[in-house]
Amino acid sequence: MNSLGNLIGELCKVVLPITEESYQGNPDSSIAICTLSSLDLLKKIANSDILQNVSIVGRLLSENKGIDAIIQHVNQNQKINKIVVCGKEVWGHKAGHSLFQSHKNGIDNNRKIIGSTSPDPYLTVTPSQINYFRNKIKLVNLTNETDFNKIRQTII
């Protein structure tokens, strides 16, 4: 299944090229926003006054490299202590689900996210990085919420 998942992932890169996008906001903010697969929501937030109140806003498209990147980012930017997870869940990959499972349960000895039902939920971050993420970061679950004003009220 893992090699089939990799093959499908490579095919998707060719058929549906997706670029990773993130926008830097206020470097002194303790809040980050993850819009999961919602590109329009990401751009709306990036072009609004919300960006003055958050450190970074970006998407999460995969249950492995994307979560690794989030965990590495919060370990390197320790002012961040809250991530608001909003936008539409990533169909098939269930990246938001895996993000919450990694936060709740961590990873096993094979680096698999415990409790994840995603196709390829394996991380490369170190145990100390995942422990920092689990113990120092609060996740706010607004998964599938795309109403800009509701998200704005959570931030401001």
Question: Which residue ranges make up each domain of the chain?
Answer: 20-155
Q: Domain 20-155 carries which CATH code?
A: 3.40.50
Q: What are phi and psi of 120, to 5 degrees?
A: -145, 65
The per-residue pLDDT for 21 is: 79
pLDDT interval class at 16 (50, 70, 90) = very low
Contact status, residue 48 vs residue 108, Cβ threshold 8 Å: no
Write the pLDDT tens digit of every residue in 54-110. 999 999 999 999 999 999 999 999 999 999 999 999 888 999 999 999 999 999 999
- Bridge partners (DSSP) of residue 84 are 33, 140
Q: Which residue do the tokens 């098939």 mark?
A: 92
Confidence check: pLDDT of 111 > 90: yes
The per-residue pLDDT for 3 is: 52
Burial (0-12, 13-18, 19+ Cβ within 10 Å), 65: middle
Confidence check: pLDDT of 4 > 80: no
Task: Record the pTM.
Answer: 0.87
The per-residue pLDDT for 15 is: 39
- What is the secondary structure of 126-152 as a DSSP string? -HHHHHHHHHH-EEEEEET---HHHHH
Q: Which of 77, 63, 73 has its CA nearest to residue 30?
A: 77
The per-residue pLDDT for 156 is: 84
pLDDT interval class at 7 (50, 70, 90) = very low
Whole-angstrom distance, CA of residue 59 vs CA of residue 135: 22
Vertex 142: Cα angle to 108 and 150 (nearest 5)? 165
Write the pLDDT tens digit of every residue in 17-40. 444 579 999 999 999 999 999 999
Confidence check: pLDDT of 6 > 80: no
Region for 94 from its dihedrals, namely left if φ exceeds 0, alpha if ψ lies in -120 to 50, beta otherwise? left
- What is the secondary structure of 48-75 as a DSSP string? SGGGGG-SEEE----TTHHHHHHHHHHH
